[in-house]
Chains A and B, each alone.
Chain A
Amino acid sequence: MSGRTALYEIPLIRAGEPARSAERTELCGVDGTPLATVHLAPPLLARLTVASARAGEESTPDPSLLRQAGKLFATATLNGLSPQEYCDLQSRVTGVPVTVARHSLEDVAQTFANVGARLAAERPPGTEDEFGPGVISAVWARRGDVLAVIAPSNNPGTHTQWLTALGCGYRLVVRPGARDPFTPARMIAALLEAGVAPHYLSLLPGSHATGDALVEAADLSLVFGGDAAARRYGQDRRVILRGPGRSKILHSGAITDRVLDVICDSAGFDAGMRCTNLTAVFTDGDPAALAEAVAERLARLVAAPPQSPEAQLPVLPLAEAQRLRTYLDGQLAGAVDVAAAHYPDGSVADLGDGSAALRPAVLLCDRVDHPGSRIELSFPCVWILPWQRSDGFGPLRDTLALTILGDDRTLAQEALRERTVRKVLFGAFPTYSAGTTSPHDGYLSHDLMEARGYGTAG
């Protein structure tokens, strides 16, 4: 690049209207190239924006409108960016391989199109929109009007979750993750262009303090985050927490190619940054043999700059990548990284431009209660632990998605009885597999809506 090119600009969106801020920040690619100026909302603006979202008239968007917006998201030039330009920018700043953003275009469009079906599926039978006079029945009613979304930056697909809320009629105020304001900005542009009422959509990039003010001002909040977010908001009953995933595989029986496919796919899909990517494998077979085989396969994932089509691993600024690896090394507690032997030039792949890809780690543990099963990092990083049937499901608690590999169907039934396992997949389903209307972490609309009695005398 010669000199400094003009930076792409992301304004705030206040109740559908773009707005500039006196506070701004510069977003750089993982290689350090400045790429975008992001306008920042202070906490005060969070309060003001929630107030103006609240003040607007009721105008819940029709699902057909959302379908139209999904098409625009995948195909139109929005905010001055073609779909390809958006993918390029998103991947260069977040370090997520560009292929993830590219297939997300279609995935996101699908999710938009599917909102109507999802709402119908999630709705309890027995609730009605209209019923005749003289009947007292149940209506499916919102628990509030404004939903704050404290969003992440790990995968564009995460943002599709708040579409359900829009379909329920919530006015949304989104505080994007620090590295990906692009995806929600594009979604909001598509929704506005499709005709969603402006006050239903706001985008406020900002700090933790802005997030706090937003959570305080909104009726309900959807907060994506790890343990830190849980500590920050865990006591607040108006907050719906998402993440971490700590998804797992429970393996019993032989180590076959099929088994390795599912494990490696679960770990490496979308560069391993989803909450439904694999964190730990519990096996009643030979953990060392399994770990070796998994490491050998995962080592084939390609380290390359995120904007290149071959990239399969997340990329960070070099120092950050090293810090993350050093952190992992400090958490081993006796576990051994059997993947390291596959990388003659180290586990952090220096891409030579200031950035580095994180190569997969496969950590062989010697006991079922090794703390590694709770350590979820934002790259393919799999803990392999020995497990016996007599260990039960205790070690598998707090799991977003659990795949059970083997032929023991009763294990799957037992897993379903463990409440903290949010999804059970029996057989060769990678952990990230989802049906179009299956619950991700329960049905979101069940946190947003409630059944209330209603009747009109005849």
Chain B
Amino acid sequence: MGQPKMADDFSSVFEPPLDQTPDVDELVRAAMEWHFSPLTGSPYWVERAKTLGFDPRKDVQSQADLQLFAGVPVDWSSIPADQLIPRGNAGRSVRHGVYESGGATGAPKRIIDATSRRRNVEWQSRMLDEQGFPAQGGGWLHIGPTGPHIMAKNITSLGEIRGHLSYFVDLDPRWVRRCLAEGRKDEFRRYIDHILDQVKDVLASQDIRLMSSTPRILETIAGRDDVYRLVREKVQGMIWGGTSMDAETLRLFEEEVFPQARLAGAYGNTMMGVAPQRTRRAGDAAPCVFRPYYPYTIVDLVDPDEPSRRVADGEQGRVVVTALTRDHFNPPTLERDLAVRQPSADGFPGIELSDVRPYESASTTVVEGVY
């Protein structure tokens, strides 16, 4: 058997030094070759290629050609995860993990990751340095999904890179959603209190200096005196993400609730990776602008009513993500979020976005009853 094209053949595109951005079309070609070649591709994509009606390795030569995948839905919830491991990774002696989405829009989606996300996090870490985020020493407490969720792996990587020990308080977002959907507010409250009790315990006994969580959890901390006092005393940096945050809430967190800490947002999900908050600049139209990890994550914003039209700067659009890493290929996929496109700063080649919020199709109901 002849030696297959090895991983190293693409490393200058998949894993160049962090300050080098590969040409997007070159990355597209590398991703097509890597994921669809019978030698290096995953069983899933190699098999799927046979029914696509086009040959990704031949027909997809540029970012624009990715449109060929427009009619190709992927049911990430049902693919056996082992079928997603690129065969080429076998020669790289890396450890694979299975990671799941929170399942906000149905059954959880599953992906594979070995080393790609760590690069995304290294890049995020550089942005945190630029923003004066504390580093070296002390612990990092993550209050959020662990278990199958990639967030925990990301935070572990971030902690390692930045010189902190990672601590976790596990939160099951699926249970929270279920409580709320079924109107079981009491149970939800008790669960949050249970989470905050654990947070308090870690904060009281460990040298915690950084924290990451969702806006909602941070809000509940602001509403619980005992935990809030500990956070104010100890935490110098915070990352929020997972759900959206409006501009006024962000202002309140930064100026009134946690003025002692640096705050940084992180947009993203299992399918696309992390788009960290880009360092704020005078004249920014929004207080928090997210920068996707281009070109490994390509974010597009399209007209919700006419998805073939890309929105202009300043316009709101629905998020479309494409992921092109060595471990994971996500063809362009319409996501549930809306965001506003921001003009990219300092020549950054991808688009930037702000004001992320969930897309809710307009439905109006008649309100009955006079009050």
Residues of B346-371 contacting chain A, CB below 8 A: 364, 366-371
| Residue from the set B248, B249, B257, B367 with the largest chain A CB neighbour count within 10 Å | B248
A-B contacts counted at CB < 8 A amount to: 88
User: Per a CB cutoff under 8 Å, which of A51, A225, A232 touches B371?
Assistant: A225
CA distance A191 to B252 in the complex (A): 27
Chain A minimum-CB-distance residue to B218: A44
A21 at the interface (CB under 8 A from B): yes
CA distance A227 to B369 in the complex (A): 7
A375 at the interface (CB under 8 A from B): yes
B186 at the interface (CB under 8 A from A): yes
Tell which of A75-83, A140-148, A239-247, A353-361 binds the partner: A239-247
Residues of A140-162 contacting chain B, CB below 8 A: 152, 154, 158
Residues of A385-423 contacting chain B, CB below 8 A: none
A324 at the interface (CB under 8 A from B): yes
In contact, B223 and A47 (Cβ under 8 angstroms): yes
CA distance A42 to B244 in the complex (A): 12
In contact, A375 and B368 (Cβ under 8 angstroms): yes
A369 at the interface (CB under 8 A from B): no
| Residue from the set A22, A213, A274 with the largest chain B CB neighbour count within 10 Å | A22
Residues of B within 8 A of A40 (CB): 248
In contact, A154 and B247 (Cβ under 8 angstroms): no
In contact, B251 and A22 (Cβ under 8 angstroms): yes
In contact, A323 and B364 (Cβ under 8 angstroms): yes
In contact, A45 and B252 (Cβ under 8 angstroms): yes
In contact, B366 and A23 (Cβ under 8 angstroms): no
In contact, A22 and B371 (Cβ under 8 angstroms): no
Binary CB contact string for chain A from 212 to 246 against chain B (1 if under 8 A, 0 otherwise): 01001100000011111101100110000011110
B185 at the interface (CB under 8 A from A): yes
Binary CB contact string for chain B from 241 to 257 against chain A (1 if under 8 A, 0 otherwise): 00000111111110011
A37 at the interface (CB under 8 A from B): no
User: Per a CB cutoff under 8 Å, which of A48, A152, A154 touches B257?
Assistant: A48
In contact, B370 and A23 (Cβ under 8 angstroms): no
In contact, B185 and A236 (Cβ under 8 angstroms): yes
A445 at the interface (CB under 8 A from B): no
In contact, A23 and B371 (Cβ under 8 angstroms): no
CA distance A375 to B366 in the complex (A): 12
User: Per a CB cutoff under 8 Å, which of B222, B287, B369, B371 touches A48?
Assistant: B222
Given contacts A226-B371, A231-B183, A377-B368, 11 further A-B contacts (CB under 8 A): A21-B248, A23-B247, A45-B249, A154-B371, A226-B368, A243-B370, A244-B369, A245-B370, A275-B370, A375-B368, A376-B368
Chain A contacts to B: CB under 8 angstroms:
21-23, 40-45, 47-48, 51, 152, 154, 158, 213, 216-217, 224-229, 231-232, 235-236, 242-245, 273-275, 277, 323-324, 327, 375-378
Of the A-B pairs whose beta carbons lie under 8 Å apart in the complex, a sample of 17, sorted by A's number, is: A22-B248, A23-B246, A41-B248, A42-B248, A43-B249, A44-B219, A225-B369, A226-B368, A226-B369, A231-B183, A242-B371, A243-B369, A243-B370, A244-B368, A244-B369, A377-B370, A378-B367
